[in-house]
Structure 1
Amino acid sequence: MFDMRHGFGRLRSARIGVRAAAAVALAVSVLVSAGCGSGSHAAEQAPVDLTKLDVGSYPTQPKDIKPKDPTAWAKYLEAFRLGNTMPLAQDIDPALTHNVPDVNPFIDAGDFLADQAVGNTAAFGWLNMTEFNANTPGLIAGFQTGARSDADSVISYELKVAVMAFDSDNAAATAAGALARSGFGKNEGAESAHSTLYPSAQITWIPQTQALASWYPTGKLIILALVINHENSLLGQSDQPGLLALSDKAISVTADRMKAFQPTPPEKLPDLPVDPQSMLRMTVHRPSGDQAAFGFDGMLDTHGAILAAEDPSDARARFEKTGVDFVSYGAGQVVRARDSTAAENYIADKATTRFQRRIDPPSGLSVARCVEYHGPSSGEFPFHCYAAYGRYAAEVWSSQKQDVYQRISAQYAMLANSK
């Protein structure tokens, strides 16, 4: 099944932990389809006997995706399209260099509010959004992302942006007001605020937490900009004008970027390609009930993937260097590089980052590169494995060595079987 949950399958993130997060499970059935993988595979790689790999219960055969709920999956596809269009936080404020967790598509409150369900205050979870579904008739899909000015959230300021697509201009405008009233509006100490640049934006300000939320309708879209100054809150200082200026800038840049987004008419959503690059069929899906990390099954182009990367500058440089054009996510992630050499270079680069020490690869898969984290963060996944097959490079991560070995073995076998 596809496990569509809040957040993203983030790599080496100190913000990842085992969590019983609320999730929206989008079950899919699959049909085996042999010999129809996309791209070519290198024949010169060392031969691997796939029958001798320990893959546990993970599948090894690529399977075409056939959603059991085509309507829900079509909405998620629209959400991915939103993510591929949204601006990077650095395009709004160059100081926002550290992406935050919980980058994710959503189609209802189950996705949007997953953090609140587990008592987390990251992303939008701590907004009072209990009436989200009732306030959003006509919602098709949304995508949320964000970044902060420092790796240490305590001394940072933070920007979160969400874009929501509705089936009509009126639905978006009505929802913006309703969401604003039930968002920060029900928090103790909440006050109204006003933007001279965007007078139609519904804005709420909470001085105690130095947080400001702006809900701005534009056509069929709502842009939500949430800005928080954690350091000022800690120091007891206040800077509403500064947060309002950042909110206005976020709305301006996002609205301008979203002019390139052409919403899919509701009646045309079922026509969106289920697996447009034929990459999901060759990506090992997350096990049912997997609670190991933020994540979802799906695919983004390189721009969308940079939104989700922990270090956006590093991700951009690596993607450009190796010609990556798409990234698919499941039990790990698979990138499609320029060619087989670029794919090998991609994993060589990823496997030699700071605080990672090489460990033996899994039995039978000597082409894999596996590492164990030895660093200051207690929240890091301890084990990562990488492998390339043809122009595809795969990365998996786990808190257990045997599991990471099984994941990379299964993913390698699936790529090999897709030739």
Structure 2
Amino acid sequence: MTGTSLPGEIDVRTLDVGPYPTEPLDSYYDFQHSVRSGTALAISRLANHVVTGNDIDAELRYGTGVQKLAVPEDVKNILAEQSVPVAARNKMLFGFASGSSDFRPEPHVEVPPGSTLTTVAVMQFPDSGSAERAAAEFEETDFSVSPDLNERVQIAKYPLAHSHWRPGTPTMGSVIAHGSYVVSTFISTSQPILTDLTDLVEKVYTAQLPMLDTLAPLSAEQALRLDLDPEGIIRRVLNPDKLGVPDPGGLAAYDLRGFLHFQTDRIAAKILYADSERFVFSGAYSPTTNSYTKGVAQSFGKGTTRFLQGAILIRARDIGPAKALWSAILDAPDAKWTPPDVPDSKCAELPTNTYVKDWVCAVRYRSYIGYVWSTQLQDAQQRAAAQYALLANSQ
């Protein structure tokens, strides 16, 4: 055949990418193993095996916050502060907590008292013995905060669980050891009905414990040796600071379940992203809850904070699902906001109740979808162009 060959793709060197990198992370950064990095990677790995509310009950569709447990001190955000020495004494390695509700949370606003909330935390210990001791000690420590008001509760389906409630109060705390893991849950319902509380605790354990059976526990050394990017996907996300230090909300990769922890309407997100298989964060979310009451389900009542600037990279199962996802996201894009010369890109201004504008752009390159956002439109456009160029340069 005769003819003139033409480039199959644009020359990404011509795009306005501002100050942002367009080469993959591993081309300029050498990952260094450390306790901090290994712990962060282990937390993200664990999050993929922690229940969300819709795994427990379809009504609990909304996410109310997350909490990384990187050191024993972090335990005070999900349990009584007196539990910190218990975690330290039994050598807790790491953990992850996630909150859910039947009421859609609003940023910086407490969930109404009549809502049903659950906080589920999973912690890993060195072995089953330390996990069993920790579970028993967590219960004793929490019960002892108000021993004259608290009352022991037996969970029929899970007799090894340690549980108690305060009669007349619509809350219950429960903890159980499962191999090297400890699962802690705090439940809050609209009415102080003991059977409703125990039923919900049972649902938590029924959903959570089998998930942990599919996740081999890590030793401290194994956590230390975890690699940053074994699938070669973190290298492709826009990384303005050019840093390869992992963090559960800052630089991390998840499957769909792990990603859903950070979403508000988890059922809607599960449907939207059903054909996507990996999700990468770069400066995306705060992995700590907006807590106003420490150690209880209500402390997870304000949702997960998205940082003012960041990126999320999504790998769909194939090009077809990627095109479908790109078409479905961003409700109100405006053609005049499209990043100049960037194929398959669009931008929108999201509504916000603060004085800060929220510009979000989405780009598609083959089976990848990139989200970037900023408080300025031009900056968001440059980030989008840089993300597209980075994907093109990462083959």
> Is TM > 0.5 for Structure 1 vs Structure 2?
yes
Q: Does 1:315 align with 2:269?
A: yes
Q: SS of the residue aligned with 2:364?
A: strand
Distance 1:283 1:129, change over 3 A: farther
CA distance in 1, matches of 2:324, 2:256: 17
Residue 203 of structure 2 is aligned with which of 223, 226, 249? 249
User: How far does the alpha carbon of each residue in 1:239-292 deviate from its partner, in whole angstroms, 9 at most, with x for none?
Assistant: 233122211221232112222221133333344332121111111237599xxx
Aligned positions, number: 347
Alignment of 1:37-186 (within 5 A): 44-45=8-9, 47-56=10-19, 58-64=20-26, 66-102=30-66, 104-109=67-72, 124=78, 127-129=79-81, 131-132=83-84, 135-136=87-88, 137-151=90-104, 153-154=111-112, 155-183=114-142, 185-186=144-145
| TM-superposed deviation, 1:207 | 6.0
For 2:260, the equivalent position in structure 1 comes to: 306
The answer on whether the counterparts of 2:372 and 2:380 sit within 8 Å (CA) in structure 1 is yes
User: How far does the alpha carbon of each residue in 1:296-325 deviate from its partner, in whole angstroms, 9 at most, with x for none?
Assistant: 3101112322343322222222333xx321
CA distance in 1, matches of 2:354, 2:35: 40
For 1:409, the equivalent position in structure 2 comes to: 385
Distance 1:162 1:288, change over 3 A: farther
| TM-superposed deviation, 1:130 | 5.8
Distance 1:272 1:135, change over 3 A: closer
State the one-letter code of the partner of 2:265. Answer: D
Residue 390 of structure 1 is aligned with which of 366, 372, 379? 366
Considering only CA atoms, is the larger Rg found in Structure 1 or Structure 2? Answer: 2
CA distance in 2, matches of 1:183, 1:406: 51
For 1:334, the equivalent position in structure 2 comes to: 313
CA distance in 2, matches of 1:218, 1:327: 28
Q: SS of the residue aligned with 2:165?
A: strand
CA distance in 2, matches of 1:208, 1:275: 50
Unaligned runs of 5+ in 1: 1-42, 117-123
Residue 330 of structure 2 is aligned with which of 339, 351, 371? 351
For 1:30, the equivalent position in structure 2 comes to: none
The more displaced of 73-82 and 378-387 is 378-387
The answer on whether the counterparts of 2:33 and 2:225 sit within 8 Å (CA) in structure 1 is no
CA distance in 1, matches of 2:251, 2:166: 35
For 1:210, the equivalent position in structure 2 comes to: 170
What is the alpha-carbon root mean square deviation over aligned residues? Answer: 3.2
User: How far does the alpha carbon of each residue in 1:49-83 deviate from its partner, in whole angstroms, 9 at most, with x for none?
Assistant: 43541433x33221226444523322333222222
Q: Percent identity?
A: 23
The answer on whether the counterparts of 2:21 and 2:240 sit within 8 Å (CA) in structure 1 is no
> Structure 1 length as normaliser, TM-score?
0.72
Alignment of 1:212-227 (within 5 A): 212-227=172-187
| TM-superposed deviation, 1:148 | 1.0
Unaligned runs of 5+ in 2: 1-6, 106-110, 283-309
Q: SS of the residue aligned with 1:100?
A: strand
State the one-letter code of the partner of 2:84. Answer: F
| TM-superposed deviation, 1:328 | 0.9
State the one-letter code of the partner of 1:170. Answer: G
